[in-house]
């Protein structure tokens, strides 16, 4: 059911060594979605690592670059090399977890985050593993969230915690608590788009399409440049058999995210009705 990746890009990766100045948003983007300049940058990094295989900084930069290109297997191989030499490094385990999560390897991500937490229970690592537990309907998600809340780090972190709790309750079928948690998240961070989407999906999954549509429309008023609220408005209209409105919303979504395959398929499906 979910189109958006839950908890995507809301917890910053703490990788000072991986910061690069290369801009992937180049006008000349290749078929793989990566500019020739960035490909050349990765090639140069690879060559430098071969020359200086013991440079942890270079290898970490290469892992981050490979992750950005979607070459997850190669990125994880770089992390394996780093961890063989420094298995007590919190940052390396946390980074491996993020790359594994990007690759869709949830088990490796959870193991990596667990290793990181045992070394240093940072709020970011706790939230990362809590999110995965929430998706697995594991109540440990609530325990990890509480640990972060107890640190009183401010409204942004409170919003993350409430969001994760909402995901857990939504996945376990407690709609009332899910809605309460997503409202708490939004109260702490008005622009938290993932919370709006998840809140709308609570109604959508119950076939309450009018109620869901209200949430998704409001979400697009909060951020008119986010493609997801328009996609879900399209889904609501599609389920309500309002073809013209569904087509319009899918086209709006694609205008903001031109390469989204799910939306393209939805548009073809409705246009062919």
**Do 148 and 127 touch, CB atoms closer than 8 A?**
yes
Q: What is the 3-state secondary structure (H, E, C) of the chain?
A: CCCCCCCCCCCCCCCHHHCCCCCCCCCCCCCCCCCHHHHHHHHHHHHHHHHCCCCHHHHHHHHHHHHHCCCHHHHHHHHHHHHHHCCCCHHHHHHHHHHHHHHCCHHHHHHHHHHHHHHCCCHHHHHHHHHHHHHCCCCHHHHHHHHHHHCCCCHHHHHHHHHHHHHHHHHCCCHHHHHHHHHHHHHHCCCCHHHHHHHHHHHHHCCCHHHHHHHHHHHHHHCCCCHHHHHHHHHHHHHCCCHHHHHHHHHHHHHHCCCCHHHHHHHHHHHCC
Instruction: Evaluate whether residue 5 is within a structural domain.
Output: no
Q: Is residue 219 a part of any domain in this protein?
A: yes
Is residue 266, in this structure, part of any structural domain at all? yes
> Looking at residue 273, what is its pLDDT?
61
Last residue of a domain, one of 72, 94, 120: 120
Instruction: Point out the domain boundary residue: 97, 120, 143.
Output: 120
CATH of residue 225's domain is 1.25.40.10
pLDDT of residue 22: 36
The confidence score (pLDDT) of residue 146 equals 97
Residue 269, domain extent: 196-273
pLDDT attached to residue 170: 98
| Residue at which a domain ends, from 120, 140, 170 | 120
Q: Does residue 42 form part of some domain?
A: yes
Global model pTM greater than 0.85: no
Domain for residue 208, yes or no? yes
In a domain, 181, yes or no: no
Tokens for 106, please give them: 């949830």
In total, how many domains does the chain have? 2
- What is the structure's pLDDT at 6? 41
Whether 163 maps to a domain, the answer reads: no
Residue 78 lies inside a defined structural domain of this protein: yes
Which of the residues in the chain have pLDDT under 70?
1-33, 273
pLDDT on residue 8: 39
């Amino acid at each position: 059911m979910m189109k958006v990746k839950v908890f995507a890009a809301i917890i910053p990766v703490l990788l000072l060594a991986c910061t690069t100045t290369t801009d992937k948003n180049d006008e000349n983007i290749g078929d793989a979605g990566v500019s020739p300049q960035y490909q050349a940058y990765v090639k140069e990094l690879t060559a430098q690592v071969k020359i200086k295989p013991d440079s942890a900084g270079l290898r970490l930069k290469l892992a981050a670059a490979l992750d950005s290109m979607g070459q997850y297997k190669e990125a994880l191989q770089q992390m394996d090399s780093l961890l063989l030499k420094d298995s007590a490094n919190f940052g390396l385990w946390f980074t491996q977890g993020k790359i594994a999560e990007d690759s869709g390897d949830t088990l490796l991500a959870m193991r990596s985050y667990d290793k990181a937490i045992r070394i240093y229970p940072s709020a970011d690592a706790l939230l990362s593993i809590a999110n995965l537990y929430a998706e697995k309907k594991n109540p440990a998600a609530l325990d990890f969230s509480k640990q972060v809340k107890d640190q009183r780090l401010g409204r942004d972190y409170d919003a993350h915690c409430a969001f994760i709790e909402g995901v857990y309750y939504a996945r376990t079928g407690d709609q009332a608590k899910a809605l309460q948690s997503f409202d708490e998240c939004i109260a702490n961070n008005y622009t938290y788009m993932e919370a709006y989407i998840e809140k709308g999906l609570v109604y959508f999954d119950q076939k309450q399409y009018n109620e869901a549509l209200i949430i998704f429309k409001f979400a697009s008023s909060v951020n008119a440049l986010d493609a997801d609220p328009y996609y879900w408005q399209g889904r609501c209209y599609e389920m309500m058999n309002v073809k013209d409105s569904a087509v319009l919303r899918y086209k709006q979504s694609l205008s903001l995210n031109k390469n989204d395959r799910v939306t393209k398929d939805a548009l073809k499906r409705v246009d062919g009705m």
